[in-house]
A and B are shown apart, each in its own frame.
Chain A
Amino acid sequence: MTALTGIKALGLISGGLDSTLAARVLMEQGIEVHGLNFSTGFCSNDQRRALGRADEEPHRLRNEALRAGADLGIEVEIVPVEKDYFGIVVNPKFGHGAHMNPCIDCRIFMLRKAKGRMEEVGAHFLFTGEVLGQRPMSQHLAALQTIEKEAGLEGLLLRPLSAHHLPETLPERRGWVDRARLLSIAGRSRRGQLALAQTFQIAEFPQPSGGCCSLTDDTFSRRLRDVLDHQVPFEPGTQDPVLLKVGRHFRVSHQVKVVVGRDEAENQFLERLRGGKWCFEVPGAGSPLVLAQGDPDDDLRKLIAAITARYSSRRAEDSVEVQATKDDRIETIRVAPAADTYLEQCRI
């Protein structure tokens, strides 16, 4: 390993294979690497953790960036950015991808934050694991150049895996990094990365197809869009994003949405949020906990009771007794279970 002593690079480390390899390629040149990972509030793993299923194996929910840092022997600093980040989710300058994912704005946001940390960390330049042509929205040549420019990092941002396809950067021109030892990976095939992983004996990395970002998930995005459209109070970094992952969601009026727990873990999660809200259950039966967001009137409470009955073990009965509770207030409502055709119309 050639030692370029005293040179330090700050990198965005997701824990995926690409960012791990990018860090490793630089470390092979004797460059000291410090990792940054941003906690946006939209990581699927984080949300699954918050749900707290008793049967989840902790290793499956581990933070991959920390795991990568441990394997590489570098510090990965997790930076909470939930509130700031939500602004670009709601109103991204470069638009959303297929769902609520603001991929280009996301990269710009993180790189700007990273740039702000460079001096404190003592870093000479930034790097990412981006691969030219790998992702349709954020990793084509024009997007990479836009991201670099908008983040105010022209010349200072190195993409070691695709460096040979990109203009020479300042770290290369100054001899901090040996360009000849950088790579020319491009496109969607993972073959180059997998071969490199084998060379570096990197065995543990998450599968790329899974993705950790809830904003690329169709259902989650639809529910988030509903929250924004109906001005439901939503605070990133709290249980609010987790709630969008939990249960079946039905919008029963402009002001009222209901969430139906699908199993014991989800019921327990909803139980924690029930204070000050109407909750519905079928007593003495296998029943979901149904939580109402908003303030349902008498008619809506009957409707929600019917939804509750539909997802209880008494769904086949003509008439079911449902208990509705809000703090100290308790009502018993007898209803017929809701029809599936209706539920499909209001499902979010």
Chain B
Amino acid sequence: MTETMHVSIWRGGPDGAYVDYEVPRLESQTVLDVVIYVQRQLDPSLAYRFACRVGVCGSCAMTVNGVPRWTCRTHVSKVAHGNRLTLAPLRNLPVIKDLAADMTRFFEKWQQAKGVFAPSATRNETVAAIRPDSPSRIAIDKAIECINCGVCYSACDTVAWDVDYLGPAALNRAWTLVNDPRDADNKKRLMAVTGKGGCQNCHTHVSCERLCPNKISPTDSIAGLKRRAASAYVKGEL
């Protein structure tokens, strides 16, 4: 006989409540499999996001038993408390409905942190040669594989305490550009990441690093921004 799992899912908006479902437990089952089962077999009105199902798109992150995770690559066997799962939308973001959080603020902060590449050359000029073993390229490599899932933002206590804090993902993105020798906007970027809600607010709790599904360390990136900005300040460039 198939084992049954007890799943509590947040339903509704900010004033919603948890609703319990019974879901068959299967081998190699992911948390996203559970959510899809509920929506397709038990309640088609369940709202949630997913796209790729293979850990690339970053759209399926939710709070699983109190911890933010990418659900498509999270096996139930690794996170279930006994035979129980509790699923909620990502923390630190407004809930739209059920498991879908409003990511607007998250992406606005990427813009505030100047997370957009600013070219210093035109397409008519020679392509910049960047050695793979150069320190700046190595620093970028460590931080570049972010999939914008919002897990770090949801895990961050500083975001929970300070609504203006740019958060680990936006600052991590800024760090990749600060290290890009082709970028022309780094003075403005350093101003942006040291302004209101900037990198100096990070308490180095390391929740972002511990929970990042792609094993990135935004904590390291933020520490790098602090050092770079401090150096610029001492030189009178900030």
Is the pairing of A and B real? no
Chain B interface residues toward A at CB < 8 A: none
